[in-house]
Amino acid sequence: MIYRAKHHFFLYPFFQYYTLWKIRRNFHKVDITGHYKEKGLPILLISNHFSWWDGFWADYLSQKLFHRKFYFMMLEEQLKQNMFFNKTGGYSIKKHSRTVIETLNYTAGLLTDKNNLVLLFPQGEIQSLYTFPISFEKGIEYIMKKVPGKIQLIFLVNLIDYFSNPKPAIYMYLKEYDGDKYTTEELEKEYNSYYSLCVSENQKKAFEG
């Protein structure tokens, strides 16, 4: 049995406010690059995973750009240690367990509602920002096969840099996947290609000051 996401009437709005406050306090700039067209569809947001901040950054983007109810998958052992997140859209996955399929089916079900955004980290665990290429686990392909209708699949690449500032800036790059293949291998290849472009773009910004 999995921990299904809840959106507590007080804690969820508080979490969203806290996200905005926390980011304003700890980063000197949030730079969003990319194009997003509202299509009135559920959103599956695929992001790299290299820090404790990743979920907060995705929630920030959801509030500022996508305006959806925010859901995110967490490892069960981490969710148990931070059950607050369960009341703010977090739900569990337990690797190497029979409940994995239940979690993936639950995710597909969330993506039938146009008001929902689901954040997934296809790496399956936190890895160094310098890990490249990024390896995808198989779950995303299963989810895409189970979703009965159309969704928007969006790649998100988060990078941080200080440049000449004492506080870091967060650079968010986003792109809608417009391919017609949803295999793990194809999505992994396309995401890594986009990731490389984002790193190059960020290096240009360093020279621009």
The residue count for the chain: 209
CA distance linking residue 164 with residue 181, whole number of Å:
42
For residues 58-74, one letter each, b for 16 or more C-beta atoms within 10 angstroms of the residue's C-beta and e for the rest, the string is: bbbbbeebbebbbbbbb
Write the secondary structure of 84-117 as one string of H (helix), E (strand) and C (coil).
HHHHECEEEECCCCCHHHHHHHHHHHHCCCCCEE
pLDDT by position in tens, the chain (length 209) = 999 999 999 999 999 999 999 999 999 999 999 988 999 999 999 999 999 999 999 999 999 999 999 999 999 999 999 999 999 999 999 998 999 999 999 999 999 999 999 999 999 888 888 889 999 999 999 999 999 999 999 999 999 999 888 999 999 999 999 999 999 999 999 999 999 999 999 888 766 65
What stretches of 36-177 show up as alpha helix (H) in DSSP? 54-61, 76-81, 99-110, 139-146
